Structure 1
Amino acid sequence: MNPSVIYALMAAILFGASTPFAKLLVGEVSPILLAGLLYLGSGIGLSLTRLIRDLGWKPSGLMPPEWPWLIGGIVFGGVLAPVLLLIGLTVTSGSIASLLLNLEAVLTALIAWIVFRENADRRVVLGMVAIVAGGIVLSWPSGEVSSSNWLGPMAIASACFCWAIDNNLTRKVSAADALFIAAGKGLIAGTVNCGLALSLDATAPSTVILLKTLTLGLVGYGISLTLFVLALRGLGTARTGAYFSTAPFIGAAVALVLLNEATSPAFWLASGLMGLGVLLHLAEHHLHEHTHSELEHSHRHVHDVHHQHSHEVDWDSGKPHAHFHLHTEISHKHPHYPDIHHRHDHR
């Protein structure tokens, strides 16, 4: 199995599993402050991890033209989306909100396919449809749904749109250090949301609840986002978004054990649809003659068919390493995904 697929599924598992645990904290911390602390735990934990890994501060690997993409992703996905979601949740029922959140995967794929011209063959599209259908079945209201005005659903749909933009913008910088990207998002988004919550007179949680929240944020948001960035690097936006959209199913499965919730026919139908979608994606085989334009960037790599450059000092070319390197133009044919080296157009 492609390692990037594993990254995407692990990101979904961690994020999906964090949702039931977050539900246990909702009664202890106000929603806005809870969102801020989860992001802050992610940013602080990943920043410390990066400093320990690198034995100090090291450059991010971002090129100057890439910074606007990262900043845009943080603004849309880390700041605007959570606020819009919380606004929507105040006037929208939980069942409708859960249903609307499935829009993120659809909007992510549509932006990737239409705006950024990412390739999608029939199998990938069918896999996306199956996964999203599973999410809809899983969150479909089983009883009478309370009415809500247009503001709530529009706010939640807007949050999904912001996250979809974030996913596509983050893909543009996914070759850089994934820890730096995820840590930066967590620190900025967490600071903004915590500041907003405190300005609204939110009550600070106890030390025990604070530590639990920060830890949950590190695992469910930080490590998950780091894996998501690695998946973007190797799979592209639409495919990563499709795998990640299995998170609601994973969250529901964890809730069965953690919260002792009962299963339903809808749960098993959703499981089958999502499983079918993942299998369709795993069975993808994309092969054609393509040309790589000249490209210079930095990321962790080995000297494979796409990395045939020399070093000024002796280096074990079989070991992963990171540095700025130049890809000269090359044309060849092999199976590939729309990863950081295969962002060519398809006619």
Structure 2
Amino acid sequence: MRPFPQGIVQALAAAALFGISTPLAKLLLGSMSPLLLAGVLYAGSGIGLLAWMALRRGLRHSAAESSLTRRDAPWLAGAVLFGGVLGPVLMMLGLARTTASTAALLLNLESVLTAVLAWAVFRENVDRRVALGMLAIVAGAVLLSWQRRSGVSVPWGALAIAGACLCWALDNNLTRAVAGSDPVQIAAIKGGVAGTINIAIALALGYRFPHLLPVLAAGALGFIGYGLSLVLFVLALRHLGTARTSAYFSTAPFLGAALAMALFTEHGSLAFLLAGALMAIGVWLHVSERHVHEHEHAVLAHNHRHRHDVHHFHAHDFPWDGQEPHTHPHVHEQIIHSHPHYPDSHHRHGH
């Protein structure tokens, strides 16, 4: 029995934390505006992760994660803009105009758009099985968005959530470029900057903070559903690549929809159940993929946390105590071999 890849566990855990945050965030929409709520969610993420960084300082040595560099700044800035500012605002606006369970399932569009961008723009391999899974998820999303009403009705809530998914798809692909760096640092910067910007805009528009309890609840939810979830997502990106990580992350909407139906006593219509079935098929096609072929690793120099394995058998030019994992700049020599793999940071070859 082949081992369960670490990246899959991290992606599923990220999905679980984010999935439950969607219906819980809807509970808080009555106490503050969507824009202000988006800001508080991300601010809670940033503050919580900054506290985590402060607590861990001095406890790690050679096993510490590599820090962000100046070359990472453009990628991180784009990720903050799309994923931390525009995405959450659109999500809160859409959530205010549609049911929590439908909104949760519509979030499956994020994985589809992420995979399309990864393949078309960032040249990540997406095979037939992944493509079929995308089509099934899109079909489910279209079924959810269609409204059978008299006259013409524009599903603004669904369109806003789709826009949020596009923003997060851009965010996912931009974040992959810096995924080798400290994931806590990445998520803390994104949360702190995005939270500050969204809160400032909300206050400038005349919105005000509610009582302390809803603010604290939103901050705690942001730390768990956005902060910790993003840390796990970045770790999964290292092992699975962008499209596959998002495919596993597609389980989040089902958890959110199930919790929403329990919290708000929402009953799934036939269209809702059919959409859920289509999306479940799409996710299964993604997670059951097995990719193996002979491939070549070119010479590569980079810095990230790693263990000595088939891809890391380099020597050290400094005293090393044998601790695993450890972090330092290292060079990968050219190698040709065959094994099951994903388009992670060491498998970005062409096909």
TM-score by length of 2: 0.86
Q: Which residue of 1 aligns with 2:173?
A: 168
| Alpha carbons of structure 1 residues 322 and 47: separation in structure 2 relative to 1, 3 Å | same
Q: Which residue of 1 aligns with 2:75?
A: 69
State the distance in 2 between where 1:269 and 1:23 align.
24
Is residue 2:33 matched to residue 1:30? yes
| Alpha carbons of structure 1 residues 147 and 88: separation in structure 2 relative to 1, 3 Å | farther
* 1:282-302: CA deviation from partner (whole Å, max 9, x where unpaired): 332212222222222222211
Shift of 1:149: 6.2
State the distance in 2 between where 1:341 and 1:154 align.
36
Segments of structure 2 that go 5 or more residues without pairing to the other structure are: none
Q: Which residue of 1 aligns with 2:242?
A: 237
- Residue 207 of structure 2 aligns to a residue in which SS? coil
Shift of 1:250: 1.5
- Residue 88 of structure 2 aligns to a residue in which SS? helix
Q: Which residue of 2 aligns with 1:279?
A: 284
Is residue 2:98 matched to residue 1:94? yes
Is residue 2:332 matched to residue 1:295? no
State the distance in 2 between where 1:33 and 1:315 align.
49
State the distance in 2 between where 1:104 and 1:174 align.
19
Segments of structure 1 that go 5 or more residues without pairing to the other structure are: none
Contact 1:131 1:274 in 2 (8 A): yes
Contact 1:39 1:190 in 2 (8 A): yes
Q: Give the residue type in structure 2 aligned to 1:256.
A: M
State the distance in 2 between where 1:146 and 1:344 align.
51
State the distance in 1 between where 2:150 and 2:169 align.
27
Q: Which residue of 2 aligns with 1:42?
A: 45
- Residue 94 of structure 1 aligns to a residue in which SS? coil
Shift of 1:171: 0.7
Q: Which residue of 2 aligns with 1:124?
A: 130
State the distance in 2 between where 1:197 and 1:153 align.
23
Q: Which residue of 2 aligns with 1:104?
A: 110
Is residue 2:16 matched to residue 1:13? yes
Q: Which moved more, 1:186-195 or 1:11-20?
A: 11-20
Contact 2:306 2:327 in 1 (8 A): yes
| Alpha carbons of structure 1 residues 106 and 167: separation in structure 2 relative to 1, 3 Å | same
Contact 2:98 2:157 in 1 (8 A): no
Is residue 2:58 matched to residue 1:55? yes
Shift of 1:51: 1.9
TM-score by length of 1: 0.87
Shift of 1:229: 1.0
Contact 2:108 2:137 in 1 (8 A): no
| Alpha carbons of structure 1 residues 213 and 147: separation in structure 2 relative to 1, 3 Å | farther
- Residue 224 of structure 1 aligns to a residue in which SS? helix
Shift of 1:148: 5.5
Q: Which moved more, 1:34-43 or 1:152-161?
A: 152-161
Contact 1:40 1:187 in 2 (8 A): yes
Structure 2 counterparts to residues 197-236 of structure 1, below 5 A: 197-236=202-241
| Alpha carbons of structure 1 residues 277 and 84: separation in structure 2 relative to 1, 3 Å | closer
Shift of 1:326: 1.9
| Alpha carbons of structure 1 residues 180 and 84: separation in structure 2 relative to 1, 3 Å | same
Q: Which residue of 2 aligns with 1:308?
A: 313
Length, aligned pairs only: 342
Contact 1:108 1:168 in 2 (8 A): yes
State the distance in 2 between where 1:18 and 1:84 align.
15
| Alpha carbons of structure 1 residues 149 and 129: separation in structure 2 relative to 1, 3 Å | closer
Q: Percent identity?
A: 55
State the distance in 2 between where 1:186 and 1:221 align.
8
Shift of 1:131: 3.7
The CA RMSD over aligned residues, in Å, is 3.0
| Alpha carbons of structure 1 residues 59 and 245: separation in structure 2 relative to 1, 3 Å | closer
Q: Which residue of 2 aligns with 1:113?
A: 119
- Residue 17 of structure 1 aligns to a residue in which SS? helix
Contact 1:246 1:274 in 2 (8 A): no
State the distance in 1 between where 2:325 and 2:182 align.
14
Shift of 1:193: 0.1
Contact 2:75 2:178 in 1 (8 A): yes
